[in-house]
Amino acid sequence: MNEFPLEACRVLVTRPAGQQQELIAAIEALGGEAISLPLLAIEPIRDAGAEARLRENLSRLQDYDLLIFVSVNASRFGVRRIAESGEAISPNASILAVGAATAREAASLLDRPVHGPVTGGGSEILLELPQLEDVKDRRVAIFRGQGGRELLAAELRRRGAVVDYFEVYRRTPAAGAAGQLKEILSESPPDAAVITSAESLARWRELLGEIAGPAKSRAIALPLKATEGAARYADRLLAKPVVVPSRRVAELAAQHGFTVVIDAGDAAAKAMVEALAAHWRRES
């Protein structure tokens, strides 16, 4: 077996700045070349109304029977805000996470058990857990970023739960990404991209549209046909492998026009890089 299954593979790492090192190290350990291109910036919330709602909910933290963290960032920012508030989680509360990577992060930060899907991730799989079968009249706190999906809360409310959002961070497009991508493409286009969330996927597809030109950027589902400069590579990237963390994000990637989509089943660096290595080994 090849000790370096990603040899000669240039991999675009799109996680936010400051959150890429584990993924970069995993790629390089298998012989690949990691190319940093943060697509989103993760920041504390700044909206006064959202901040007031968060503080009010945190003041009642002990009243919640169940806490759910929907991402690694939700775990990091959520636990930080809990600590800053001086409030405590009820010792009788159960804590869940949407995937293995998020569960590990939350468990480490909270120093208490956090449960989640053993394989795969996402709201759909989380809702299949036995802990969420009977939630009638239970108070549920969902820690997330601003503007997340509504599926989880809607279904829990349908099952009779009382649900509140704890929106602890926001996502914004990373500054300078378009220029950085043009520079990368002008040197040597990547062979694959690692995309760790639906929001990053949407930004990646949007960015390819920007590179291709205004007319093409509006045709999200159509192949790009850029013809000059670095833009000519944009359509080729739709045919390059894109590694994603879940079935839902894989389905979204296909809808966006990506033709080689690899579902790693987890957002953890090890799982995503091993999934890419298995594909690269087969295709090389």
Please, what are the domains in the chain?
10-39+174-283 (3.40.50.10090), 43-172 (3.40.50.10090)
Q: What are phi and psi of 123, to 5 degrees?
A: -60, -40
Structure tokens at 13: 């790492």
pLDDT of residue 225: 38
0.85 exceeded by pTM: no
> Which pLDDT band holds residue 101 (cuts at 50, 70, 90)?
confident
pLDDT of residue 213: 66
Give the strand order in the sheet containing 10-13: 33-36, 10-13, 192-194, 242-244, 261-263
Averaged pLDDT for residues 155-161: 98
- What is d(CA 257, CA 55) in angstroms, rounded to the nearest whole number? 41
Residue whose tokens read 């909270």: 110
Do residues 30 and 53 lie in contact, with contact meaning Cβ atoms separated by under 8 Å?
A: no
pLDDT at 215 > cutoff 50: no
pLDDT at 110 > cutoff 90: yes
